[in-house]
Structure 1
Amino acid sequence: MGEVLAVDLLNLNADDRHFINTLLGEGEVSVRIQQADDSESEIQEAIFCGLWRVRRRRGEKLLEDKLEAGCAPLALWQAATQNLLPTDSLLPPPIDGLMNGLPLAHELLAHVRNPDAQPHSINLTQLPISEADRLFLSRLCGPGNIQIRTIGYGESYINATGLRHVWHLRCTDTLKGPLLESYEICPIPEVVLAAPEDLVDSAQRLSEVC
């Protein structure tokens, strides 16, 4: 996970909050997390890679407002490890039209249960699979409570599933349409994380404007 540094912004006055909002802007990664206490965390990467605005709300009430520096914000690390590890008993009943759904399910479960076998990617785009296979895998994984969107070369939508460290990733391009669909087995997909060199670069850029 690495070190995550945090500054509390909850009690800033309106002028200071406006300054922070203008300075940070909006970067390439945004995250929503539905918390167990019915609150929701909204996370937006700044234009400075590795700098994250983390806000948590319940309804219209702002409960937390923090600025964090790190490869990923603490709330995301915590939420990504909450689900239990799966067992083969979770396999849903077979459905008509299955082609490769069952072996892919066993591959996925094997890597989830073995941290030494992570990260691992199951690229559905490169495999002969049916809609029944997709449905079977979706039923196996179940819904999660984290939604991530990244922009850059096209858009990526990365949803946590109900299984620990299993993410459903879809990459699209406005002109070319779908580019990639995969299941990623890892604590947090690499495309979301800020690299150490990005953090160094952001610190240098911040020192120039502050």
Structure 2
Amino acid sequence: MKTAIRVVSDAADGAANDLAIGSGSLDVFYNGLTSASALAKRAWRDGDELARTYPNATALLSNAAAAVGSQKSGARTQLYGLANLSDPERKLIGEVLGAGEVAGVVALPDGSLAQIRESVLAGIWRVRIGSEPAREYLEVGAIPQIVRRAATDLTSADLAIGAAPDGAMNVQPVLAEIRERARVWRFGMRAHVINLTLLPMSVIDLAFLQQSLGNGPVQLIFRGYSTCRVQATGIRNVWSVQFFNSTDNIILDMLEVGGVPIVALAADEDFQDSAARIQEIIEAYFT
């Protein structure tokens, strides 16, 4: 199931959008600097001077610090707009937050794309919707809400199972299992995992499985100890989760029936760690 995700938008022309990560589109939005390396260039400035020069950015960071300190993984996210920041203040925010391990794109109902990127402070995300002009904001939470909304609103509630092609082995019972689990899953329930790597599935099986599930509006890439790609399928509550080795070969291929897969979510301990780190940054550079 290693295929490029394509989403047909609701725009009049019905054009398909390739949701590609790593092609440089996110590099314009995120400069990739970490908090330490970027802020070191400003270390010579007095903290009070930074606070006076960048008052809106300073206030935003203080609010984000308070928010992430009280955030819980299952709680509603908290949003902070960037519209009132000057360009230098936006740059400062980018330097403080840096670029973390999770990035993604989300197709929206109007045909536009949203770009999301977790900062080096887990649980603090930067989101940009559309372009020229783009709407940008910070979001504190396990995952930006547009990910959950798109995966719910822009997917089908039922899985239609057609006749399997010649040469298929086990795809029909797998599809039946997916359909039954997706129908009964509700928020708060444990995700049901189907490990395709361990199943006797032929190339024909996998192709028909991909065709039946279709592609959804969300693609996330997690780059930690290994690369993980999380994609919403065209069926509500069904996700493709694939892990890759250093040569870009799939080493673990799974389907998860449930909410956004846990590998992409910030956890409670992440919020507490990020709260401590951002507070240290504020005290070191802005006071």
Count of aligned residue pairs for this structure pair: 206
- Alpha-carbon contact 2:194-2:256 (below 8 Å) kept: yes
- Alpha-carbon contact 2:101-2:118 (below 8 Å) kept: yes
Q: 1:90-131: CA deviations, max 9, x gaps?
A: 112210111110000001111100115641111011111101
Query: Which among 104, 107, 110 is matched to residue 31 of structure 1?
Result: 104
**In 1, distance between residues paired with 2:198 and 2:84?**
50
2:174 is aligned with 1:104: yes
Shift of residue 54 of structure 1? 0.7
Query: Which among 146, 155, 166 is matched to residue 227 of structure 2?
Result: 155
Query: Which among 115, 136, 161 is matched to residue 42 of structure 1?
Result: 115
The structure that is strand-richer by fraction is 1
2:278 is aligned with 1:203: no
Q: Which residue of 1 aligns with 2:32?
A: none
Q: 1:59-90: CA deviations, max 9, x gaps?
A: x4133101010111111121121123115xx1
**In 2, distance between residues paired with 1:170 and 1:178?**
7
* 4+ residue runs over 4 A deviation: none
2:147 is aligned with 1:79: no
Query: Which among 156, 163, 183 is matched to residue 113 of structure 1?
Result: 183
Q: Which residue of 2 aligns with 1:140?
A: 212
- Alpha-carbon contact 2:151-2:216 (below 8 Å) kept: no
- Alpha-carbon contact 1:160-1:168 (below 8 Å) kept: yes
- Alpha-carbon contact 1:95-1:132 (below 8 Å) kept: yes
**In 2, distance between residues paired with 1:10 and 1:110?**
45
**In 1, distance between residues paired with 2:84 and 2:184?**
43
- Alpha-carbon contact 1:92-1:139 (below 8 Å) kept: no
User: Helix, strand or coil for the counterpart of 1:156?
Assistant: strand
User: Helix, strand or coil for the counterpart of 1:62?
Assistant: coil
User: Helix, strand or coil for the counterpart of 1:150?
Assistant: strand
What TM-score does the superposition give when structure 1 sets the normalisation length?
0.93
**In 1, distance between residues paired with 2:190 and 2:212?**
19
Which structure 1 segments of 5+ residues have no match?
A: none
Q: Alpha carbons of 1:37 and 1:176: their partners in 2 closer, same or farther (altered >3 Å)?
A: closer
User: Helix, strand or coil for the counterpart of 1:26?
Assistant: coil
Query: Which among 223, 229, 250 is matched to residue 178 of structure 1?
Result: 250
| Aligned residues with identical type, % of pairs | 33
- What code does the residue aligned with 2:277 have? R
Bigger CA radius of gyration: 2
**In 1, distance between residues paired with 2:102 and 2:121?**
11
What TM-score does the superposition give when structure 2 sets the normalisation length?
0.69
User: What is the root-mean-square deviation in Å for CA atoms of aligned residues?
Assistant: 1.5
Q: Which residue of 2 aligns with 1:68?
A: 139
2:82 is aligned with 1:12: no
**In 1, distance between residues paired with 2:125 and 2:148?**
13
User: Helix, strand or coil for the counterpart of 1:96?
Assistant: coil
- Alpha-carbon contact 1:92-1:136 (below 8 Å) kept: no
Q: Which residue of 2 aligns with 1:53?
A: 126
Which structure 2 segments of 5+ residues have no match?
A: 1-73, 283-287
Q: 1:156-202: CA deviations, max 9, x gaps?
A: 11111110011112110115832101111111000000001111110
- What code does the residue aligned with 2:240 have? H
- Alpha-carbon contact 1:34-1:41 (below 8 Å) kept: yes
User: Helix, strand or coil for the counterpart of 1:71?
Assistant: coil
